[in-house]
């Protein structure tokens, strides 16, 4: 499944398996999907979650939002609290009973489902099967719109210049930068500008940004400066962790620039009402 974790005896020498080829997407749009909103969207960017729902519904898809959902478990997992992460992951695993795709409006959380859940449940065959099945039908929102819905967006907005920031884990685990770029490219009046060191981390890294605020701060200062230098009117990102970081820093610097979630931007540009 993933090149980071694979089935091996505890003391066996590990080999990284060959790259997984390009992802195979379903040929038909599904009738129903689950939306996993993520905890950051839930509390800080709920409009991004709602706009994701709107975008999916406009595609003729019924969206199911399990009210039992909370967090994917990533903060504990990356902090080394694996047991605690597993406990939370197990609760999420139980939410998606039907075989519908699970759409996540945040790259790193989708990556947690896809790349790390199977490893968390390695020791429990029943849960492992469930985790593998969930991983196989989890999509990051932009990826889902582009490759499963095959959306054709028509831009109704005024000309605007935007910069795209992609979360590192999402980009590396799921190629989300390509999906975001492809969607923005469909918008005729939107000019996407590259920024210097675009592929470099914004410095969020979950608890990293509070554990080592000096280093994380230097990273986000460079990132925001590079974004401002593009002259973009807006920053777009499909990851709310990064947005929390970038927007928080821009606000502290009293800069005019702000970041917006890709879902909200797409919805607004294509005639969606707020």
The terminus-to-terminus CA distance of the chain in angstroms comes to 39
Q: Does residue number 173 form part of the binding site for another protein (CB under 8 A)? A: yes
| Tokens describing residue 57 | 């519904």
Q: Does residue number 107 form part of the binding site for another protein (CB under 8 A)? A: no
Q: Does residue number 259 form part of the binding site for another protein (CB under 8 A)? A: no
Q: Does residue number 100 form part of the binding site for another protein (CB under 8 A)? A: no
Distance CA 241, CA 258 (A): 14
Q: Which is nearer to another protein, 112 or 153 (CB)?
A: 112
Q: Does residue number 268 form part of the binding site for another protein (CB under 8 A)? A: no
Number of residues in contact with another protein under rule CB under 8 A: 92
Q: Does residue number 9 form part of the binding site for another protein (CB under 8 A)? A: yes
CB of 226 to another protein, least distance (A): 12
CB of 146 to another protein, least distance (A): 18
Q: Which is nearer to another protein, 190 or 246 (CB)?
A: 246
Q: Does residue number 211 form part of the binding site for another protein (CB under 8 A)? A: yes
Helix ranges (DSSP H) in the chain: 39-44, 46-58, 74-78, 82-93, 107-111, 117-120, 125-136, 141-143, 168-174, 176-185, 208-211, 213-229, 240-252, 262-269
| Tokens describing residue 46 | 């709920």
Distance CA 223, CA 13 (A): 39
- Interface segment toward another protein; rule CB under 8 A; list 137-145, 176-184, 212-220, 264-272: 212-220
**25-64 residues near another protein, rule: CB under 8 A:** 32, 35, 37, 39, 41-47, 49-50, 53, 56-64
What is the contact mask toward another protein in residues 125 to 164, using x (rule: CB under 8 A)?
----------------------------------------
Q: Which is nearer to another protein, 43 or 185 (CB)?
A: 43
One residue of 7, 23, 87, 129 binding another protein per CB under 8 A: 87
DSSP per residue, 3-30: SS-----TTSPP-PPPPP-SPP--SS--
**182-201 residues near another protein, rule: CB under 8 A:** 199-201
One residue of 25, 133, 136, 172 binding another protein per CB under 8 A: 172
- Tallying the residues shown for the chain, one arrives at 274
- Give Cα 78 to chain centroid, integer Å: 16
Distance CA 53, CA 64 (A): 9
Q: Which is nearer to another protein, 10 or 125 (CB)?
A: 10
Name the percent of the chain in helix, strand, coil, to the closest 5.
45, 10, 40
The residues with which 260 forms a beta bridge, in sequence order, are 236
């Amino acid at each position: 499944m993933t090149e980071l974790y694979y089935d091996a005896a505890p003391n066996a020498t590990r080999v990284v398996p060959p790259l997984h080829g390009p992802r195979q997407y379903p040929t038909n749009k599904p009738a129903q999907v689950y939306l996993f909103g993520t905890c950051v969207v839930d509390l800080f960017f709920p409009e991004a979650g709602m706009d994701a729902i709107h975008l999916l519904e406009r595609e003729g898809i019924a969206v199911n939002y399990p009210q039992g959902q909370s967090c994917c478990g990533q903060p504990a997992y990356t902090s080394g609290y694996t047991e605690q992460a597993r406990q939370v992951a197990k609760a999420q695993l139980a939410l998606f009973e039907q075989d519908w795709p699970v759409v996540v409006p945040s790259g790193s959380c989708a990556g947690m489902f896809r790349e790390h859940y199977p490893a968390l449940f390695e020791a429990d065959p029943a849960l492992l099967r469930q985790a593998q099945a969930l991983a196989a039908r989890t999509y990051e929102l932009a990826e889902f719109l582009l490759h499963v819905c095959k959306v054709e967006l028509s831009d109704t907005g005024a000309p605007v210049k935007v910069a795209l920031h992609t979360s590192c884990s999402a980009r590396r685990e799921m190629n989300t930068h390509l999906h975001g770029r492809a969607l923005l490219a469909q918008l005729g009046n939107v000019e996407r500008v590259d920024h210097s060191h675009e592929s470099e981390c914004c410095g969020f890294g979950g608890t990293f940004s509070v554990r080592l605020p000096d280093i994380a701060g230097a990273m986000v200062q460079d990132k925001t400066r590079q974004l401002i230098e593009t002259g973009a009117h807006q920053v777009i990102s499909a990851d709310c962790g990064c947005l929390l970081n970038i927007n928080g820093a821009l606000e502290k610097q009293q800069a005019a620039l702000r970041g917006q979630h890709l879902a909200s931007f797409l919805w607004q540009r294509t005639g969606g009402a707020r």
